[in-house]
Amino acid sequence: MIRPEVMVSYLNKLCLEWDSAGLSLGSNRSCIRQMKSNKTLVSWDSENIVLKDNEFSTLEEYITLLSCSQYTLVLFDGSLLQLSYTLERNEVVGHRLCWYPSPIDVTGIQEIDEIIFKIQNIMSDNSNVLEEHITNPQASYPISLKGIYNRSPLRFDFSVMPDDKKDDHPDVHLHISNENCRIPVKTPLCIRMFMQFIVSNFYHNIPIEGSLVNDLPSWENNDMLTAHHRGKIHFSYNR
């Protein structure tokens, strides 16, 4: 049982710990929004919620999310973290947990606005030679798109589906590279488990022990896999 105001404090604790450690470029406090059917959304506090207006895993989407402040936390390397939970009668019935890596090297950048400015400069500096190369591929032009990375976001989604749709659309699933990619996941993820996955796989120099990860809130979750999912490649873990 988790009350919405407690979930808000959990997400704000995450931001506080990473901000205090000097490992973030910015963060948004979380807030409570009332939804239909007596559900409550606990998510980042921003005037405009932009989640579906851009294609998943594109440069456009990254820039939109960053410029519209659609994140819980911006890490030191420009990666975005989105953490939101849907509650019903103090039970977690949904979540969106996303790590959105930066498409550029942000070394030396101190402000979020500088990331967008650097992306614009890289694209502008190479747009003319790229156009000439496309129209005349036999010619030799100094095309340099170094510093632009092709990195996929990782997004763990949870929503309870009708029984006749669960096999095709797992209650808990992981999106990689494509919106239609849904890799089954055994259980919904608590805040600690999500951050353990991200840090252990992408930030090897950051310790798992301590307030940044292992001191974050955790709670028990039910096994949501169907028999169909168990016969496929899926994500699982033991607590």
Q: What is the DSSP string of 25-42?
A: EEE--EEEEE-GGGEEEE
The answer on pLDDT for 197 being more than 60 is yes
pLDDT score at 146: 65
The answer on pLDDT for 215 being more than 70 is yes
pLDDT score at 123: 77
b/e per residue 196-229 (b: at least 16 CB within 10 A): bbbbeeebeebeeeeebbeebeeeebeebbbeeb
Residue appearing with tokens 């991200």: 198
Lowest mean pLDDT among 42-51, 153-162, 178-187, 188-197: 42-51
Predicted confidence band of residue 17 (pLDDT cuts 50, 70, 90): very high
For residues 184 and 76, the answer to whether their CB atoms sit within 8 Å is no
pLDDT score at 40: 96
Predicted confidence band of residue 134 (pLDDT cuts 50, 70, 90): low
| Residue 127: Cβ-neighbour burial (10 angstroms; 0-12, 13-18, 19+) | exposed
Q: Name the average pLDDT for the chain.
A: 90
pLDDT (mean) for 38-57: 79
Predicted confidence band of residue 154 (pLDDT cuts 50, 70, 90): very high
The residue that leads in pLDDT, 207 or 46, is 207
Share of the chain above pLDDT 90, in %: 74
Domain boundaries, the chain: 4-103+149-230, 114-147
pLDDT in tens, 157-167: 999 999 999 99
The answer on pLDDT for 50 being more than 60 is no
The sign of the torsion formed by the CA atoms of 50, 106, 27, 97 equals positive
* Residue 220 to residue 239: CA distance in whole angstroms: 9
| Torsion angle, alpha carbons of 109, 196, 56, 60, to 10 | 0
pLDDT in tens, 80-111: 999 999 999 999 999 999 999 999 999 999 99
The answer on pLDDT for 220 being more than 70 is yes
| Coil, helix or strand at residue 8 | helix
